[in-house]
Amino acid sequence: MDFTLNDEQRMFAETAQTLFADTCTPDHWRKQMETGEARDDARWQAIVETGFTLLLLPEAVGGLGLTELDFALIAEQAGYVALPEPLVESAGVAAPMLASLAPDHEALSDPSATIAIQHPSNPFVLDADLAAAILLHKDGEAYLATPDQVTLTREQSIDPFRRLFRVDWDPAKATALGKVDWDLALDRAALFCAAQGLGLAQRAVDMAVSYAQERQQFGKAIGTYQAVKHHLASAQVAIEFARPVVVAAAADIGNCDVQARARVSHAKLVALEAAEKAARASIQVHGAMGYSWEVDVHLFLKRALALTQNWGTPNFHRSRIATRMFTQPTGPDQTFARETENA
């Protein structure tokens, strides 16, 4: 039993943190919003060069063969900067799924290519227009198409960086890939949503702390007032009790049993609750500034709201936890128990 990250994992997280801190600043967000460009090419190139897009792919297809825990640490950092590019959906969910179905597919050979995924739990597909390939679902089977083989209709998200598309397509014009584990894709996506939620939450708190240290009212920094302190302390408590759940879910996800799935669901619920709580506290602490477009806190709220409802609604995830509770033993000796031990 060891609940600590190893040096390599810590190093990966630090690398991601530095890369995103340099390439995804508020100036970058604003420029991207003004120009309406889907991607910051320099940033995406830096991400690709660092190997993040290959992290979860098996070594046999040129990947790094690392684990969901390693990727979750990067997803957390992506959340901290509300990363506009679909790194998590493509490299964390779609690419490993494609690699399991068609390891020789050419879209996997280009580490800068992105793969989009249409999943039964989501109505829309993120960044479908720029993807080298789109994974599609019909009757439990997976299909693959390129953007020009389908009809894409843009849907506007409240999150300025979430580029959503409705995909209309004809199975006759797509490549059939056969049966696939859509639940595994959902588990990975939900886990990485949770990891992003931790980053979103911490950034919202950190922004509010900086503001409350500077902003003066009644002759003092507003951060001296307990009413302000307590908002942010409560948000930090939510983060502190979401993080170990996310880490444990990441470490256990490969078990694919009732317990592992419940823990992923738990992680997604509480990490995104923490993100929403932190973002709302941050807006409140910023006062009218927090309600203004230029202060950027809204980006974290909007991302949190979107991720909360995608890749399984809160109700879906709660029901998976209820299934674990009412079909498997519970209690203090069951924290790390597996379904096979109780079969």
Q: Which residues bind another protein (CB under 8 A)?
A: 1-6, 9, 69, 205, 209, 212-213, 220-221, 223-224, 226, 228-230, 232-234, 236-237, 240-245, 247-248, 251-252, 263, 266, 269-270, 318, 321-322, 325-326, 330-336
Q: Which is nearer to another protein, 166 or 229 (CB)?
A: 229
Q: Are residues 59 and 17 in contact, defined by beta-carbon separation less than 8 angstroms?
A: no
Distance CA 265, CA 285 (A): 30
* Min dist. Cβ of residue 309 to another protein (A): 16
- Classified as helix, coil or strand, 102 is coil
Distance CA 146, CA 131 (A): 7
Is residue 114 a contact partner of residue 129, using CB atoms and an 8 Å limit? Answer: no
Instruction: Quote the CA–CA distance of 55 and 19 in Å, as a whole number.
Output: 16
Strand pairing partners for 164?
Answer: 126, 155
Q: Which is nearer to another protein, 6 or 151 (CB)?
A: 6
Smallest distance, another protein to C-beta of residue 239, A: 9
Q: At 135, is the secondary structure helix, strand, or coil?
A: strand
**CB of residue 88 vs another protein: minimum separation in angstroms?**
20
**Residue in the structure block whose two tokens are 């389908």:** 150
For the CB of residue 210, give the shortest distance to another protein in the complex, in Å: 9
DSSP conformational letter for 85: S
Contacts of 49 (CB under 8 A, 6+ apart): none
Strand partners, 137: 142
> Which is nearer to another protein, 11 or 322 (by Cβ)?
322
What minimum distance in Å lies between the beta carbon of 163 and another protein? 33
Q: Which of 279, 312, 67, 303 is nearest to 182 (CA)?
A: 312
Bridge-based pairing of strands 133-138 and 115-117 is parallel
Q: What is the C-alpha to C-alpha distance for residues 241 and 57, in angstroms, rounded to an integer?
A: 30
Least distance to another protein, CB of residue 12, Å: 13
36 or 332, CB closer to another protein? 332
C-beta of 30 vs 220, nearer to another protein: 220
Pick 293 or 336: Cβ nearer another protein:
336
Length of the chain: 343
Q: Distance (Å, rounded) from C-alpha 65 to C-alpha 55?
A: 6
Least Å from the CB of residue 302 to another protein = 23
| Residue (27 or 326) nearer to another protein, CB | 326
Residue pointed to by tokens 């009790």: 241
DSSP string, 240-253: HTTHHHHHHHHHHG
In whole angstroms, how close is the CB of 247 to another protein at the nearest point?
Answer: 7
Nearer to another protein, 136 or 222 (CB): 222
